[in-house]
Amino acid sequence: MRHRISRARLTAATAAAVALLAGSLTLADANAATGAPEAKTLKSVKADLTDSAVSGTSRAIDKTTGKVVVTADRTVKGEALAKLKKQVAAQDGKAVLKRTAGKFEMFIAGGDAIYTGGSRCSLGFNVTKGGQPYFLTAGHCVELGGTDWSESSGGPVIGTSEAATFPGNDRALIKYTGDTAHPSAVNLYNGSTQEITGARAAVVGETVQRSGSTTQVHDGTVKALDVSVTYPQGTVNGLIQTDVCAEPGDSGGALFAGGDALGLTSGGSGNCSSGGETFFEPVVAALEEYGATIP
């Protein structure tokens, strides 16, 4: 069952496009005159690679190296790996391929546990819409789980899904229907909470924390933005990539920095014993689509 209510995603700087003094001719004019094709931007390279992506891969623009980093998990092998290598090699040096030892998967199995359809996910952030209380979680938790949510397996319903998107994006809006507290805070699993006072975009290099019902709280660093990941169930775009670990059941949980809400746990590879990489749906995008606010 698919629910959807309403939702653009680096063009390369061309200093050489300044008019050439000798002939008052720009680089763009020169290309047009000679018929030479203009170089592909990193954004278009990433888009092309995403359009032909195989399951178990991700694509992110690395502004430091000026390349699109294509990561393949351990499931990509044989013909699929050969195809991927050919696709990367065809990008005129603008893309590189790396491997990760884990498997890209969604972590279905805020921080607090929420249950639906026999599956467990994690609550992301409590929000308000039209003066009414809601919460955000991962869209795949709804699409692959169910629409009614409780705080315990088989417990009374506390909320019902109003909107969800997966794949493409990975976000969902759940309306509280039961009598339960819904503070604007994230569970730190040490007897305290972190108050959440607003939402913003993540920044590459910043230190962040993630709270989830399986592995509780872990921290790490934002590695890339606007990342596309191809899970077995489909491709999700516009994600935040970090080196914070996560495991099944952490899906939908909160990515935050101090009092700022940043993202909702989507999926990744590895675990909290060996480490890994994780991807998050940006909270700002979810709030904009759903017309919701924090707190």
Each residue's pLDDT tens digit, 5-38: 333 333 333 333 322 223 322 333 334 444 434 4
Query: Which CATH number is 39-99's, of 3.30.300, 3.30.460, 1.10.287, 1.10.3470?
Result: 3.30.300
- 224, 241 in Cβ contact below 8 A? yes
Confidence class for position 69, pLDDT limits 50, 70, 90: very high
Report the C-alpha gap between 50 and 77 in whole angstroms: 18
Q: What is the pLDDT of residue 49?
A: 94
Asked if CATH classification 2.40.10.10 holds for the domain at 104-295, the reply, yes or no, is: yes
**Residue corresponding to tokens 């990509």:** 76
Q: Considering Cα of 204, then 7, then 73, then 136, what sign does the dihedral take?
A: positive
Q: What is the pLDDT of residue 107?
A: 65
Q: Print the SS3 string covering 195-215.
A: ECCEECCCCCCCEEEEEECCC
pTM comes to 0.79
Q: What is the mean pLDDT of residues 163-177?
A: 97
- 243, 152 in Cβ contact below 8 A? no
Residues serving a catalytic function are 140, 170, 251
Query: pLDDT digit string (tens) for 186-245?
Result: 999 999 999 999 999 999 999 999 999 999 999 999 999 999 999 999 999 999 999 999
Helices (H), the chain: 27-34, 42-51, 78-89, 139-143, 283-290
Pairing relationship of beta strands 234-242 and 148-150 according to DSSP bridges: unpaired
Q: What is the pLDDT of residue 211?
A: 98
Indicate the SS3 state at residue 17. helix
Report the C-alpha gap between 57 and 41 in whole angstroms: 20
**Residue corresponding to tokens 């653009």:** 8
| Extents of the domains making up the chain | 39-99, 104-295
- 206, 241 in Cβ contact below 8 A? no
Q: What is the pLDDT of residue 295?
A: 79
Of residues 261, 247, 264, 248, the one with CA closest to residue 166: 264
Which has more confidence, 53 or 136? 136
Confidence class for position 179, pLDDT limits 50, 70, 90: confident
